[in-house]
Copies of this chain bind each other. A is one copy, B any other.
């Protein structure tokens, strides 16, 4: 059987499972999630053994240490996955929520109700915990899921999915609610992207290259996630002590995540005062500053190119520029931002209002670190990713974002005149 046929076969089994899942009650789904959590803990040794195979293979292939760290599971990480499933069980069921409703002039009762998408495809990179997280979120939102993880995590993902499927079966829900996509090659990703009609939505999570290729090639609708070239703009009206703390937190709290700051803009009127302080603090924390001419006046600042201004470094690097005013900051952000998160640090209400209205990003932060753009921080309880597209969902996506809706219209012999 070709890869295409194999992928279509699992997708078609997922479709059948989705018909059952769409009707499953919250009680049944929560019981399954709790059982999945317990099963993961119980099968900890087997999962760790499978993970050790992946780690060994990665080490033999000379994989960088930070990637191996993301790949490696521990008892604590397995307990974390289990707790994630229990947390999802504790969240409200989005399915069935009435989004709006009214009785029309002719007596028809109309309501718009949340329903599952049906079949969700996840394409993701090295971290095996995404396997359990995505399975839990999709199950709770009534969706069957096709998981296409990295081939480097193949043994771990297989072991985790086996455990989750057994737990599902024991609860009376279809095993095929959670499936791995067969095949390690890029062919299986391509087949998933072509499975329009069988797969309702694809969510790529990973590097910019992976996401771009899925967005451009897929005929299945895609939710684009997470590339973040996040800006912090320090206005002349900012509290500069506060600004320094926020810049440092945005850049250095964690560097490898999409909501860390990659670009700093400073109003010209406070440049003389703020630049020496911020350059010193950043460099003191090991950050390389890629600056414009104004920043380049300071020691060890590297001249910035347009590529630097556009970059999502995910490392101890930041691009930096001085701008004339908030309008110039907005222009710079329009040109270079990836539309994930941009922050304004200011006291002037007019400047804040202008920035918030004009910066067209998933999240606009005022006097706060860019690191707050996160489903957990926003109180969503679970996050499948951060959407940087404008259709359907924008920003951190929780359970409601994993649903569609339908209109139910009830009459009693109504015909149109």
Q: A22 on the interface (CB 8 Å rule)?
A: yes
In the complex, chain B residues whose CB is within 8 Å of the CB of A404: 390-391, 394
Closest CB in chain B relative to A274 CB, distance in Å: 15
In the complex, chain B residues whose CB is within 8 Å of the CB of A104: 377-379
Closest CB in chain B relative to A118 CB, distance in Å: 7
A245 to B391, CA, bound (A): 39
Within 8 A of B (CB), among A340-389: 356-358, 360-369, 371-373, 377-379, 389
Closest CB in chain B relative to A363 CB, distance in Å: 4
B360 touches A409 (CB 8 A): no
A409 touches B358 (CB 8 A): no
Within 8 A of B (CB), among A82-130: 102, 104-105, 108, 110, 112, 115, 117-118
A253 touches B411 (CB 8 A): no
B377 touches A416 (CB 8 A): yes
Please tell me the size bucket of the interface on A.
35 or more
Number of this chain's copies in the complex:
2
A407 touches B378 (CB 8 A): yes
B408 touches A360 (CB 8 A): no
B394 touches A392 (CB 8 A): no
Q: A181 on the interface (CB 8 Å rule)?
A: no
Over the window 237-249 of chain A, the binary record of Cβ atoms lying under 8 Å from chain B Cβ atoms (1 yes, 0 no) is 0010010011011
In the complex, chain B residues whose CB is within 8 Å of the CB of A118: 360, 390
A405 to B249, CA, bound (A): 26
**Contact among B22, B110, B245 for A413, CB-based, below 8 A:** B245
A interface, by DSSP: helix, strand, loop or mixed? mixed
Q: A186 on the interface (CB 8 Å rule)?
A: no
In the complex, chain B residues whose CB is within 8 Å of the CB of A105: 379
In the complex, chain B residues whose CB is within 8 Å of the CB of A249: 415-416
Q: A307 on the interface (CB 8 Å rule)?
A: no
**Contact among B112, B372, B391, B414 for A414, CB-based, below 8 A:** B372
Q: A406 on the interface (CB 8 Å rule)?
A: yes
A379 to B395, CA, bound (A): 30
A219 to B212, CA, bound (A): 10
A216 touches B215 (CB 8 A): no
Q: A412 on the interface (CB 8 Å rule)?
A: yes
A373 to B19, CA, bound (A): 24
A155 to B227, CA, bound (A): 44
A364 touches B242 (CB 8 A): no
Q: A201 on the interface (CB 8 Å rule)?
A: yes
In the complex, besides A110-B378, A363-B406, A368-B414, 9 extra interface pairs with C-beta distance below 8 angstroms are: A108-B372, A248-B415, A365-B409, A367-B411, A367-B412, A368-B413, A372-B411, A372-B414, A372-B416
**Which residues of A are interface residues toward B (Cβ below 8 A)?**
19, 22-23, 102, 104-105, 108, 110, 112, 115, 117-118, 196, 200-201, 215-216, 219, 221, 223, 239, 242, 245-246, 248-249, 253, 334, 356-358, 360-369, 371-373, 377-379, 389-392, 394-396, 404-416
Q: Which 6 A-B pairs have the closest CB atoms?
A: A368-B411, A249-B415, A390-B404, A242-B413, A392-B392, A368-B414
